[in-house]
Amino acid sequence: MAADKSVVSVTCSAPTNIAVIKYWGKRDEKLILPINSSLSVTLNQNQLKTTTTVAISRDFKEDRIWLNGKEEDVGHPRLQSCLREIRRLARKRRSQNEGDSVPLSYKVHVASVNDFPTAAGLASSAAGYACLVYTLAQLYGVESELSEVARQGSGSACRSMLGGFVQWHMGERPDGKDSIAQQVAPESHWPELRVLVLVVSADKKPMGSTVGMQTSVETSSLLKFRAESVVPQRMTEMAQYIKERDFEGFGQLTMKDSNQFHATCLDTFPPICYLNDTSRQIMGLVHCFNTHYGKTKVAYTFDAGPNAVIFLLEDTVNEFVAAIKQVFPPVVNGDKFLKGLPVEPAELSKELQAALAMNPSPGGIQYIIATQVGPGPQVLKDPQQQLLDPEGLPKPQS
C-alpha cells in the first residue's frame, strides 16, 4: 500500500479470459447468476491486462472513477454492487476483529486502464471488474469470496480472478453463494499451449453481451436445450481434456462449443450475428489446416464479436501464422501486424499452400496478438505503475 499524506492507495493488474465452454444467459439478472456453468483460459498479462489504482482518503468528498482517463458515472449499478459487497465483506471481517485497516466510511477514487484496444473486443469488462474487485479487496484487507463479488460486476469477470484454467460453477442457490470460480489447473500446467488473438476489422459495434443474452434467454429454445442437456457433460469433458493436456479433444470441443453458442445467437429472435465474413473465413482456414494434417492442430473460438481467438501448441505457431498471412495478406508491416510473443517467419510446403487455396482477403485481419496462459490478478508495487497521483487524481496518461 502506498501512503502519501492522508491518501492511501493500492495498484493491481488483472487478466482477461477467453471461454472455451461459453456462458450465455442469466437466471438472475441482478446477482448475475448464469443458466449454465462455463470454463475459460486466463490470458497472460504480459500481453493483455487491466491496471487499476484505488485510493482512499478522509479528504475525498465522494466515490469517483476514471476509465482509460475519462471520468465515468460511479452510480452504475454493477459498480455499486461491487463496492457495496467488498465493503460488506470488510465490515464482516472487522467485526471478527481480524486486524485493522482503512476506515470504511472514507470515499474511494478509482482509476483503471486497459493496455489493449477496446476495439479488440477482448472481454474488457471481465479484466476491468476483476481488477476493481481485487484492488478494493487489497485495500480493505478482504481475502475470501472474491469471485462472487467480481461476478456481480460482470459474469465472465469471476473467471478472471484466477489464473490458468478456470471453471465457473453455475450453482443452485438463489443467493448466488455457490456461483463461484474455481481453478481446474494452474497456468504452469500446459506450458506449450499458445493463444493467438486475431483482431478482425469491424466497422460496427455488435450488440453487447448483456442485452444479447437476455434476448436469447427469452426467445431461444436451443439455448435452453444447450444449458440443460449439453453443457453439463461438456464441462466434465473439457476439464478432463485439460487435465490430460489432450489438444485434439480440447481443440475440437472448444470449436464445437463456440459454434453452438453462435447457433443459439442465430436461434435468438430477432437473430444476433456476431460473426462476419472474415470470422467464417478464419473458421474455414482452421478446418483446411487441420484436414491437411489429418488432426486437430489449431482451434478457434469467438465471443460476442467477429474477432477470433486461436488455440494451438508452440510448435505450430510459426507455420499457422504464415498460413494466416497467405490468406489474409497484412496491409500493415512487421511489428504492427504481429504483437506479443515472438513469431518467426516460416515457409509453407507446396501441399499446404495448395490445401489453403482460398481467395486472399488483404487486411481482413488487422493484427495478431500472440500470448499464452497466465496467472490471476497481481499487486503492483512499482510506484511508476500507479494511476493516481498523491492527491488521488489521475496522473496524465503517457
- Which residues contact ligand DP6 (rule: CB under 6 A)? 19, 22-24, 32, 38, 123, 125, 154-156, 209-210, 303-304
β-pairing, 181-185 vs 165-168, is antiparallel
Write down the least CB distance from residue 303 to ligand DP6, Å.
Answer: 4
Taking CB atoms, the residue at the shortest distance from ligand DP6 is 155
**Is the bond leading into 362 cis (omega within 30 degrees of zero)?**
no
Closer residue to ligand DP6 (CB): 24 or 66: 24
Nearer to ligand DP6, 156 or 386 (CB): 156
Shortest CB 334 distance to ligand DP6, Å: 31
**C-alpha cell read off for 102:** 482503512
Of 102 and 265, CB closest to ligand DP6: 265
Q: Which CB sits closer to ligand DP6, 37 or 278?
A: 37
- Please state the closest distance from residue 234 (CB atom) to ligand DP6, in A: 13
Instruction: Measure the CA dihedral 23/73/51/59, to 10°.
Output: -140
Could you give the CA distance from residue 35 to residue 27 in angstroms, rounded to a whole number? 5
Least distance (Å) from ligand DP6 to the CB of residue 40?
6
CB closer to ligand DP6 out of 164 and 394:
164
Q: Give whichever of 11 and 279 is closer to ligand DP6, judged by the CB atom.
A: 279
Q: In angstroms, what is the minimal distance from the CB of 68 to ligand DP6?
A: 18
Q: Name the DSSP class of 161.
A: G
- Quote the least distance from Cβ 126 to ligand DP6, whole Å: 6
Classify 176 in phi/psi space as left (phi over 0), alpha (psi -120 to 50) or beta: left
Q: Which segments of the chain are extended strands (E)?
A: 2-4, 7-14, 17-21, 26-28, 33-34, 38-42, 50-57, 64-67, 70-72, 107-114, 165-168, 181-185, 193-200, 298-302, 308-313, 338-340, 365-372, 378-379
**Quick one: which of 150, 132, 155, 125 has its CA closest to 28?**
155
**Which residue, 11 or 264, has its beta carbon nearer to ligand DP6?**
264
Listed residue (36, 39, 47) closest to 243, CA to CA: 39
Between strands 107-114 and 64-67, the pairing is parallel
As measured in angstroms, the least distance from the Cβ of 207 to ligand DP6 is 11
CB-side neighbour CA atoms (13 Å) of 168: 37
